[in-house]
Amino acid sequence: MRFTIACPHCGARGIARAMEKESDTAWMIDFQCDDVTCGHTYRTRLEMFPPETPIPKRERRDALQFQFNV
């Protein structure tokens, strides 16, 4: 899979060429325009925002709790 994003200069497809990890949740990505007459290069930042509080795990239910009336 390729990361693509529109070129801010001409609007053509820009393809990710390099990725630099800044932290566990942030990356800097270098893009290059796919239009050879433009050739613009640009940098973007991708950052994930995990939930502030961890989602608690639910206790596993026993199979006996799933009894059906037959």
Q: Which residue segments constitute the domains of the chain, with CATH numbers given?
A: 4-49 (2.20.25)
pLDDT in tens, 41-68: 999 999 988 766 677 788 876 666 666 6
How many Cβ atoms from other residues are within 10 Å of residue 31's Cβ?
A: 22
Residue 40 confidence (pLDDT): 94
What are the tokens at 22?
A: 């800044």
- Which pTM was predicted? 0.65
Specify whether the CB–CB gap between 20 and 28 falls below 8 A. yes
Specify whether the CB–CB gap between 42 and 14 falls below 8 A. yes
Average pLDDT, the chain: 85
